[in-house]
Amino acid sequence: MVKGGTSILSENIWKDALKYFAGGVNSPVRAAVKPSPFYSLSGKGAYIYTEDNKRYIDYVLGYGPLILGHENEYVKNKVIEQIEKGWIFGTPSKSEVELAKKITSHMNSVEKIRFVNSGTEATMNAIRLARGFTKREKILKFNGNYHGAHDYALIDAGSAATEFGVPDSEGIPKEVLNTVVICEYNDLNCVEKKLKTEEIAGVIVEPVMGNMGVVPPNENFLKGLRELTRTYNSLLIFDEVITGFRLSLAGAQGYYGVSADITTLGKIIGGGFPIGAIGGKREIIDMFTPSGKVFNAGTFNANPVSMTAGLATIEVLERENVIEKTVSVAKSIAEELDNIPVPHVINRVQNMFQIFFGVSKVTNATEAKKANKDQYIKFHINMLNNGVFIPPSQYESIFTSLAHYDDYVINETIDAIKKSRSGI
Ligand SMILES: *Cc1c(COP(=O)(O)O)cnc(C)c1O
């Protein structure tokens, strides 16, 4: 098994891909691996194996869902059992009720749920719900927060939107732009001013920014948002698509002790299969059709494969102290990164972290953009050459999984970091 580097086989597939896909890919961040992306063939535990017969320790983990690592046996067997029975019925199936029971048992603020197919759909519907509930039109979001790829979210958006220089996407109607109000992350004064002067239906926030690298909330930021939204009769929407079942079984809300009115989930709750969810108080979620008048529907909503994979994943999270283990791995890796003798800062919350070179603090998107991206990319390439896959973009998060809780994997990673730090 060869580690690292780019290779001729993936390069050949890439040449074809460029003919068929815009920029060669179907989701932009995948094109950030230079000179061409490697093509994954299989995954097992902490490792990805490529078409070139190379092996990487994977700290990208599908950009968030794979908190158990690749091909977890328990999840795999549950999914196979489900597939043997069928995979879509267009009727409800028991698995959706079981997953909803499981999620609501862990998240206090989530009494009822609507399952959809992606985090994008989750935030799009959460925003519509907030408008329907409050009869107001505007939404407040934060610079650099990423809430998926729909019109209302693609304004000052983080993640690949920033990486590829389009935080404000083309193709969004002015009428939509006029309904989105922006503040800097961690700036409560701005939030108060906007809530006072504009009719805001909801404030949507990543409780930990995971799409601008990692940026934690300041001490009183989330509590402040809770109080301000209450004062001005606006809804607080926590976008927990990354943080849900990652920071704790009760998400960022459990970790920080702040409850949202509406919670969006995705990634981990689908166990690696497509999913999104909107959760909240009964009276809010009941506004969705058919009980209410805020329309949502989907051919693949609550499909039994995603439901089963999500339920199995949460069962393993409960049984095996997964979060604690992933946090301990994250600490070891972040400590080794901190030894890199080049000026930098590391932001870590639990099992998500990122390194920013050339800056001493990153508390919002403006500061994140001041970090030396070139140094980060050099480090990413060096790590690939030493057999470790960390995100190909400064504006993504490094994640750890249960499968990384293994001395061999950790030591191999630490070795790679030591070898990768020269020349950046
Ligand atoms: C990934 C992500 C989304 C979008 O989810 P998709 O399933 O990719 O549509 C939304 N919000 C946050 C915070 C995310 O990290």
pLDDT in tens, 165-181: 889 999 999 999 999 99
Q: Where are the alpha helices (DSSP H) in 206-321?
A: 221-231, 251-256, 282-285, 304-319
- pLDDT for 118-146, tens place per residue? 999 999 999 999 999 999 999 999 999 99
**Full set of structural domains in the chain with CATH:** 8-71+321-420 (3.90.1150.10), 73-318 (3.40.640.10)
- Kindly state if the Cβ of 238 falls inside 6 Å of ligand 1: no
Distance 3 CA to ligand 1 centre (A): 30
pLDDT > 60? residue 205 = yes
Whether the CB of 131 sits within 6 Å of ligand 1:
no
Looking at every residue in the chain, the average pLDDT score rounds to 96
Instruction: Return the pLDDT at 2.
Output: 56
What are the tens digits of pLDDT across the range 275-308? 999 999 999 999 999 999 999 999 999 999 999 9
Best of 146, 152, 349, 396 for a ligand 1 pocket test (most atoms within 8 Å of beta carbon): 146
Atom from ligand 1 closest to the CA of residue 145: 13
Which residue's CA is minimally distant from atom 8 of ligand 1?
A: 119
Angle made by CA atoms 126, 132, 134, in degrees to the nearest 5:
100
Backbone angles phi and psi of 281, in degrees to 5: -60, 150
Q: Closest ligand 1 atom, CA of 149?
A: 9
The DSSP string of 190-210 is HHHHHHHHS-EEEEEE-SSB-
**Residue 354: φ, ψ to 5°:** -155, 150
Which of the listed residues 29, 61, 120 should we mutate to test ligand 1's pocket, taking the one with most ligand atoms within 8 A of CB?
120
Using the mean position of ligand 1's atoms as its centre, give its distance from the Cα of residue 210 in Å. Answer: 10
Q: What does the pLDDT read at residue 1? A: 53
**Amino acid letter, 54:** K
Q: CA-to-CA distance for 17 and 23, rounded, in angstroms? A: 8
- The reply to whether ligand 1 has any atom less than 6 angstroms from the CB of 202 is no
pLDDT at 35: 86
Rounded to two decimals, the pTM is 0.97
d(CA 97, CA 63): 27
Q: Which ligand 1 atom sits nearest the alpha carbon of residue 243?
A: 13
| Averaged pLDDT, 252-259 | 98
289 CA → ligand 1 middle, Å: 23
